[in-house]
Structure 1
Amino acid sequence: MWNTYLILVVLMLTLTLLPKIQNSHWIFRVPEFGKIQITYFIFITFIFGLFIDSSKILWYSQGLLVILFIHHGITLIKYTPIYPVKKYPRQSKSSQKIHFISANVYQFNTEYSRFIKIIERDNPEIFLTMESNGDWEKALRILEKNYPYQHKVTLENTYGMHFYSKFEIKEAKTHYFVADDIPSIEIHLTTKDGFSFVFFGVHPPPPSPTEEETSKERDGDLLSTAKRVTEIHKPVIVVGDFNNVAWSKSSILFRKTSHLIDPRIGRDFVSTFHAKYRLLRFPIDLMFHSEDIFIEKLTTLENFGSDHLPVYCEFFIDHHNDEQEKRIETATSEEKNEAEEMIQEGKEENGDRDAVVTED
């Protein structure tokens, strides 16, 4: 029992310390994703230690586990309803309620009808699909009657992206910030009651042993989006499969340099991946918004055959309520320089992706 306990303590300590090392290799970045699970395992290991014969070394290690638990808990509690964040009701001068669905559909998922039923049932004004290729584009044509405005980036490399809207698209751009096969979309919209806003869809590559060796392209792409957001003087939402978690250094840098708000704070983790394994589910489909946008609801919907759960959001726009400005954190000059360096590193990184990807 003692050896098992000691191995668990060392493992929990290692997984906690690895992300502190500022190295972009996936070995150092992947443990950031499992902070929720690591915290649970720290607690379980502590309980396990209570059943081991008492010794001086045991209580030192138990004390270490308490410190690790508090360390993770200080971060995670911000993403729960326990953390105090004021909620703002919709006023007469606000826009009508707007709904959107964002979903990484998984390119090789052929259960198109299950996703279409979700869209028809929840009837959002806008929705975004990621990993959508030519087959997905054909399958979704049935929805185009109700969604007459579209912006499509059809790719077969798992980085395709399709946007559908009931609102008129005033302007649409596809950015390739760090690589010519990783698109981000920028959509300027006007609601039926006359409110303008900009919707960004992002899907950078993840650092992992099976995909990109480092997080350089991911971080460079996200921080390039943040830089672009600061050039826009309209309400902004950035949505997508970030392949990142909200508490990572690059996500915090994204939030600070973009001057956007993380709606998960004071609300919920909204974990989306992996859809089939609840205990190994991470919140990597993120969203951020400007201070004029107020989130009423943010949740996941049911699995439709993808490896990601779709994200459902209800929000409104209010130009007359300035209270959310207090939630905006701004980057220091040092952080801005660091962001520029990460953008440049992302552009210089040569990602190993095929033009057409087949399922393993």
Structure 2
Amino acid sequence: MHFYRIHLFLSARLQNMWTIYLFLTVLLLLLTVLPKIQHSHWVFRVPEFGKIQITYFILITLILGFLIDAPENLWYYQGLLMIMFVHHGVTLIKYTPLYPVKKHTQKHQSSEHIHFISANVYQFNKEYERFIKLIEKYHPEMFLTMESNSDWEMALCTLEKEYPYQHKVTLENTYGMHFYSKIEIQEAKTHYFVADDIPSIEVHLRTNDGFSFVFFGVHPPPPSPTEEETSKERDGDLLSAAKRVKEIHKPVIVVGDFNNVAWSKSSVLFRKVSHLIDPRIGHSFVSTFHAKYRLLRFPIDLMFHSEDIFINQLKTLENFGSDHLPVYCEFFIDHHNDAQEERVETATSEEKAEAEEMIQEGKEEDGDRDVIATED
């Protein structure tokens, strides 16, 4: 009787493991397939954000399959998991040092090194002093804040003496944006590409050693069950920015909370339409959100740059109370170095037409946002 009970117990445990294995395999297949369906609803777009975590879970489930005593058809599921693992891995490996990228060397014609910090401060975060100390610690030549409202603007006044050049878009709807610079601003514009409450900024600067460049800041709305139902405004806003960037005949950096991942279709279209380079390729993910949950962190604060801008350092900094980690970048400008020309991809005529369609859909979408946002 004793051995019979042990047998029943072990059988139940094995059955439970088999059930868990099947559930995980089906769920992971669903999360892999959904982003392949070109629909703008958040249900299809959100799984793109978790590609890194999905890949880890596929590997864990694959290992689990080798540890359980399951029916003969287990190997069909194991094969499916292996295909999914390779599918995700082929994309993700591009954003690691394992992916070969031609290294650049700095030449004497280049600019001095320039540093910036880009941070979604989270409008309802009141730890202003922690962010100010972060700026004082790294003393970048310029920094960009997103979700910054009038309270944040007032708190940052203490930095205006050190950063005498500013461009401010103060909003209370979590889409405010403030830019502060030690480098002279020659011209600054605010764009509202798809909605009159979603700004992007275009700032033309000139360094003391005579190099002109453009800093472009973006922060489109995310597709999610709590915000925008679809990705139409996000994609339309980003691709409108890409078109504008293509018209600028200066070195350009585009920075911000893209509410998007670099491997999504709209991000790839953005890169091709704008003729910019993604510095994460061959480097790292630089995951920023959510700041408090390391294992559930996505790389959604992106940056892209033109071929005459060279990135020396790109990393996240310590948390200052926001739900996003700040991004720190060190770069220089070199008009005479063609080491990055081959990294520029351009859009085909079909991709350009698709981008135009997405821009139009973004303009037609009626985003439901409050003028003054409240914390949930």
* Fold shared, TM-score > 0.5 on shorter chain: yes
Pick one of 190, 195, 220 that aligns with 1:204.
220
- Counterpart amino acid of residue 330 in structure 1: T
More deviation, 320-329/301-310 = 320-329
- Matched with 1:232 is 248
Deviations along 1:318-340, one digit per CA (max 9) or x if unpaired, are 00011211001110000000000
Q: What residue identity is the alignment partner of 1:184?
A: S
Task: Trace 1:96-115 onto structure 2 (pairs within 5 A).
Answer: 96-115=112-131
Q: Amino acid of the residue matched to residue 258 of structure 1?
A: S
Q: Which among 199, 207, 210 is matched to residue 194 of structure 1?
A: 210
User: 4+ residue stretches of structure 1 with deviation over 2 A?
Assistant: none
One-letter code of the match for 1:203?
H
Query: Paired residue for 2:302, among 262, 283, 286?
Result: 286
TM-score between both structures, scaled by the size of structure 2: 0.95
> Would the aligned equivalents of 2:205 and 2:212 in 1 still touch at CA under 8 Å?
yes
TM-score (norm 1): 0.99
Tell me, what secondary structure is at the counterpart of 1:163? strand
Does 2:40 align with 1:24? yes
| Cross-structure match for 1:250 | 266
Alpha-carbon offset, residue 54 of structure 1: 4.2
Q: Residue in 2 aligned with 1:299?
A: 315
The number of equivalent residue pairs is: 360
Distance in 2 separating the partners of 1:323 and 1:139: 42
Q: Any unmatched runs of 5+ in structure 1?
A: none
Matched position secondary structure for 2:102: coil
**Counterpart-to-counterpart distance in 2, 1:235 and 1:342:** 26
Q: Which amino acid aligns with 1:191?
A: T
C-alpha displacement at 1:68, in angstroms?
0.4
**Matched residues in 1 for 2:188 and 2:282: separation?**
32
SS at match of 2:119: strand
Q: Give distance in 2, aligned partners of 1:89 and 1:157.
A: 43
SS at match of 2:239: helix
Shift of 1:226: 0.2
Residue 318 of structure 1 aligns with an amino acid whose one-letter code is: D
Matches of 1:127 and 1:336, distance apart in 2: 32
- Aligned counterpart in structure 2 of residue 311 of structure 1, from 304, 313, 327: 327
How far apart are the structure 1 equivalents of 2:337 and 2:271? Answer: 21
1:227 and 1:57 mapped to 2: Cα distance?
51
1:142-161 per-position Cα deviation (integer Å, ceiling 9, x unaligned): 00000000000000000000
Which of the numbers 62, 65, 87 marks the counterpart of 1:71? 87
Structure 1 CA distance, aligned partners of 2:72 and 2:141? 62
2:289 aligned with 1:268, yes or no? Answer: no
Whether the 8 Å CA contact 2:104–2:339 is kept in 1: the answer is no
**Equivalence map 1:318-333=2 (5 Å):** 318-333=334-349
- 1:60: which partner in 2? 76
Instruction: Give, as a single letter, the amino acid of the residue that structure 1 aligns with 2:125.
Output: N
| In 2, Cα distance between equivalents of 1:289 and 1:152 | 22
Deviations 1:116-155 (A, max 9, x none): 0010110000100000000000000000000000000000
Q: C-alpha separation between the residues in 1 aligned to 2:101 and 2:332?
A: 17
Corresponding residue of 2:187? 171
Give the corresponding residue for 2:10: none
Q: Could you give the per-residue CA deviations for residues 283-323 of structure 1, whole angstroms, max 9, x where no partner exists?
A: 00000000000000000000000000000000000000112
Deviates more, 1:43-52 or 1:333-342: 43-52
Residue number in structure 2 paired with 1:346: 362
Q: Distance in 1 between matches of 2:115 and 2:97?
A: 22
Matches of 1:191 and 1:201 in 2, distance apart?
19
Return the alpha-carbon distance in structure 2 between the equivalents of residues 150 and 56 of structure 1: 66
Structure 2, unaligned runs of 5 or more: 1-16
1:144 paired residue among 148, 160, 164: 160
Q: Report Cα offsets for 1:37-63 as digits up to 9, x if no partner.
A: 000000000111111114321011001
Task: Measure how far apart 1:90 and its partner are.
Answer: 2.0
Question: Which has the larger displacement, 89-98 or 24-33?
Answer: 89-98
Specify which of 153, 178, 181 is matched with residue 197 of structure 2: 181
Q: Is the 8 A contact 2:233 2:362 kept in 1?
A: yes
Alignment of 1:111-130 (within 5 A): 111-130=127-146
Q: Does the residue aligned with 1:323 lie in a helix, a strand or coil?
A: coil
Secondary structure in 1 matching 2:247: coil
Q: Could you tell me which amino acid in structure 1 is paired with residue 223 of structure 2? A: P
CA distance in 2 between counterparts of 1:103 and 1:7 reads 38
Q: Which moved more, 1:85-94 or 1:214-223?
A: 85-94
Residue aligning to 1:223: 239
Stretch moving more, 87-96 or 335-344: 87-96
